[in-house]
Amino acid sequence: MKYYTKKSKIRFKIKHPKLILVIIVIFVLFNSIMYFIDKNILPAVLNIAEEELKREATTIINETALDIYSNQFNYSDMIITEKDNDGNITMLRADTVKLNYLSSRLVLASNDKIGKLQEMGLKVPLGYMTKNLVFYNLGPKININMNQIGNITSSYESVFESAGINQTRHKIYLHVNMKMKIVVPLNSKDVEIACEIPIAETIIVGKIPNTAIELNK
């Protein structure tokens, strides 16, 4: 006796198809928005934050240097001039102990002020990204965090220039360098900050020895 069976077709019925479609649309839209933010908005925010950070940090370092060196730096105390019997300059010698003391004070004071800036952070309005002065202060502000990387470093530079017959202009510069990291949601950027601060400028009458003066021992 033969038995015949009907082939049954297996069908999958998706429950709540509209809900699944909505979830897919939201997922695609969310990823599109995140891609747009990552490629367009965040780079602009990082660039603006870098400019603001450099401006703030440079102002802090320059103001601190002005406060310290204007009150405690005296050229005749820092640069010792030795002459022969004829009055010719035989040597210019730097008091590196005093110079390093002042630069150390600058580094410590700047570190303290930069630390306070880190705690406050930077707030940049979204309107900055338009590069249009009309909209600069419009829109919600994005909070930008920052962290100092390593220590602030400093070094002196001595420059001699001709200033006329038998006269030489001596300039002393202080170079201050530091690195910071700015952090925004989903991204970050390292920022190099370099300051060249004029410390002293004086005219020396007489011949200057050809040997360079060493300020960073």
- Domain residue spans of the chain: 18-205
Mean pLDDT over residues 208-213, rounded?
61
Q: What is the mean pLDDT of residues 181-199?
A: 86
Higher pLDDT, 206 or 201: 201
Provide mean pLDDT across the span 56-61. 91
What 3-state DSSP class applies to 117? helix
Between the ranges 22-36, 79-93, 180-194, where is the mean pLDDT highest?
180-194
Terminal Cα distance for the chain, rounded: 110
Point out which residues pair with 180 in neighbouring strands: 148, 191
Higher-scoring residue by pLDDT: 77, 197: 197
Evaluate if residue 39 carries a pLDDT over 70.
no
Top mean-pLDDT range of 17-26, 70-79, 174-183: 174-183
In what helix (H) or strand (E) does residue 45 lie, and over which residues does it extend? helix 42-72
CA-based diameter of the chain, in Å?
A: 138
Residue, of 90 and 127, whose pLDDT is higher: 90
The rounded Cα 185 to chain-centroid distance in angstroms is 19
Q: What is the pLDDT of residue 117?
A: 84
**This prediction's pTM:** 0.71
Radius of gyration of the chain, Cα coordinates, nearest whole angstrom: 32
**Tokens representing residue 119 in the block:** 């705690």
pLDDT, residue 150, reads: 82
Judged against a pLDDT cut of 80, whether residue 134 lies above it is answered with no
Which residue type does 88 have? N
Q: What is the pLDDT of residues 98-127, one digit of tens each?
A: 999 999 999 999 999 988 888 777 777 666
